[in-house]
Chain A
């Protein structure tokens, strides 16, 4: 019989965490930014169909980094959770906090009980009536949950992205400013690594996935679903208007 080696629980958890962290750091970053008229979710994503950002419910959106198959199954489970809850109680009873807490439980269970932890990091954003009532939750691979104040960067070299956002972010900004901050933050890792040649890659609208949760969607468009994807042409127009202004 093969010899079983003793591995301390501390070591085992550390190994799992290192494994998950490495997987997440390999990918590209996603940024969530609260602004005056809603919440913007911006991902560096060259694929127009394999989304990293998704709609969960009326005022709740989802963003993720890491392994696509893992976060896609979590996104679908989130949509099911929200739809069942909204159907059995009321649409107003589906909250980002409730969703984030079941995500935290799932991630925590998988982290300790399954063969391998999920190599994902999630953001759950809920747009409120005012910017002070916006919620952005960050969920990490081990089930930790944090309530982020106004902005969040994750995936890839997340520290650089988060730092760039922390320097720029102010409450009460317009969509143009919020998108400009987001794109600037997503560029931060390239600039840090860039040796001159890499600065040529400008991170254009075609390689961005952008969606917004609109704060006043009911008054403006008369519908209950606040989530809206922005086409690359819209993103280009908005970013271009910043350059002029």
Chain B
């Protein structure tokens, strides 16, 4: 309510403002935003980076999973980090890239969607949500040029529809609708190879969870920045499922543990080396 202290009449302020939290904060308090700074020249010290996210569609919805590792150069900066988040009731997003900025962009995006819903009394369309995320990534472009890039993956179902949809982004905010499955981050090449072999049309939800976990296992096998399931610490990937009925729900660790164990057991039994 800063506007009132500046002498504005609330009604006029409201008429002039849009329903976007991003636009409002950009106009009133840009220092709150994770991006929009012009950084001075200089060498940036190593910062934590998040890595591999996979997403795939299945019969009745869409699923997204991310590993739990953040790396800082050759060091493991964090082995508990969560990189997949619910954006609102019917969509999720995962982030790869500079963790500090990425996590703030996630928070900003969550508020953006909730803000629109509260102001307008209705949800944004899925396409509208995807476009807002693109605008945020584009706003981060100056930071990306300094090496602080963030690349998200966005997935959701349109309210009232049951078909899951995926969107990938580049650092310029370019938004691309993806079909069937997609992955981002340093291990994405390996994960995508795995998904191409494992994904089938009309997977049910349980098989989709198994496919996503196995793709992450493959990514962690070949990419040092992607963390595999940690059987000692009982750390499983973060997996979110979005369906029209239940919205975005996190798959609980009790469900993931046997899925991971099954993959490990099978690979042990097969005695594969490569």
Residues of A near any B CB (own CB < 8 A): 49, 51, 54-56, 69-70, 72-74, 76-81, 83-84, 86-88, 102, 105-106, 109-110, 114, 222-223, 225
Identify the closest chain A residue to B104 (Cβ): A87
Task: Report yes or no: B118 in contact with A54, Cβ–Cβ below 8 A.
Answer: yes
* Assembly CA distance A89 to B14 (angstroms): 23
Q: Give complex CA distance A110, B3 in Å.
A: 13
Q: List 14 A-B contacts (CB under 8 A).
A: A49-B121, A76-B17, A77-B1, A77-B3, A80-B1, A80-B21, A80-B24, A83-B21, A83-B115, A84-B24, A84-B28, A105-B1, A114-B9, A222-B249
Q: Which residues of A contact B9 (CB under 8 A)?
A: 110, 114
CB distance from A64 to the nearest CB of B (A): 13
List 4 tightest A-B contacts by C-beta distance, closest first. Answer: A73-B14, A73-B11, A102-B1, A81-B1
Taking A76-B119, A79-B118, A83-B115 as contacts, is the C-beta distance between A88 and B4 under 8 angstroms? Answer: no
Question: Do A84 and B32 touch (CB < 8 A)?
Answer: yes
Binary contact readout B3-20 vs A (1 if CB under 8 angstroms, 0 otherwise): 110000111011101000
Asked if B189 is at the interface of the complex by the 8 Å CB criterion, the answer is no
In angstroms, Cα B10 to Cα A80, docked, is 11
Question: How long is the Cα–Cα vector from A105 to B249 in the complex, in angstroms?
Answer: 41
Q: Which of these, B4, B32, B89, contacts A109 with CB under 8 Å?
A: B4
**A95 shortest CB reach to chain B, Å:** 14
Q: Verify A87–B13 contact, CB threshold 8 A.
A: no
B14, B107, B249: which contacts A76 (Cβ < 8 A)?
B14
Cα-based distance from A78 to B118 in the complex (angstroms): 11
Q: Which residue of B15, B108, B114 has the most chain A CB atoms within 10 A of its CB atom? A: B114
Tell whether, in the assembled complex, residue A105 and residue B121 are in contact, meaning their CB atoms are under 8 Å apart: no
In whole Å, how far is A114's beta carbon from the nearest beta carbon of chain B?
7
Which of A72, A81, A86, A114 is the one whose CB lies under 8 Å from B111?
A86
Contact between chains at B114 and A87 (CB < 8 Å) = no
B211, chain A: closest CB distance, angstroms: 25
Q: Does B38 contact A (CB under 8 A)?
A: no
> How far does the Cβ of A96 sit from chain B's closest Cβ, in whole Å?
14
Q: How many B residues face the partner with a CB closer than 8 A?
A: 26
B4 touches which of A56, A70, A83, A105 (Cβ 8 Å): A105
Q: How far is the CB of A23 from chain B (nearest CB, A)?
A: 15
Would you call A56 and B13 a contact (CB within 8 A)?
A: no
Task: Give B11's nearest chain A residue, CB to CB.
Answer: A73
Interface residue from B4, B107, B115, B249 paired with A79 (Cβ < 8 Å): B115
Closest to A51 in B: B121
**CB-based nearest A residue for B29:** A84
Closest residue of chain A to B3, judged by CB? A77
A83–B111 touching, CB < 8 Å: yes
Q: How far is the CA of A109 from the CA of B11 in the complex (A)?
A: 14
B128 vs chain A, min Cβ distance (A): 18
- 17 more CB-based (< 8 A) A-B contacts, given A78-B1, A110-B10: A69-B11, A72-B14, A77-B1, A77-B14, A80-B1, A80-B21, A80-B24, A80-B115, A83-B21, A83-B111, A83-B115, A84-B29, A87-B107, A87-B108, A87-B111, A223-B89, A225-B114
From 99 to 145 in chain B, residues with beta carbon under 8 angstroms from any chain A beta carbon are 107-108, 111, 114-115, 118-119, 121
Q: How far is the CA of A225 from the CA of B123 in the complex (A)?
A: 15
> Which of A77, A86, A88 touches B10 (beta carbons < 8 Å)?
A77
Closest to B14 in A: A73
Q: Is B25 part of the contact surface with A, judged by Cβ < 8 Å?
A: yes
Task: Kindly list chain A residues whose C-beta atoms are within 8 Å of the C-beta of B249.
Answer: 222
Tell me whether A74 and B32 are in contact (CB under 8 A).
Answer: no
Residue of B nearest to A224 (CB): B114
Tell me the minimal C-beta distance from B63 to chain A in angstroms.
18
Give complex CA distance A18, B151 in Å: 58
CB-based contact B29/A73 at 8 Å: no
CA distance A87 to B4 in the complex (A): 20
The answer to whether residues A87 and B32 also contact, given A77-B1, A106-B1, A109-B4 and a CB cut-off of 8 A, is yes
Known: A80-B24, A88-B32. A70 touches B111 (CB 8 A): no
A56: chain B residues within 8 A (beta carbon): 118
A79 contact set on B, CB distance < 8 A: 115, 118-119
Minimum distance in angstroms from A24 CB to a CB of chain B:
17
CA distance A77 to B13 in the complex (A): 9
CB-CB under 8 A for A55 and B118, given A80-B1, A86-B111 = yes
Give complex CA distance A204, B106 in Å. 43
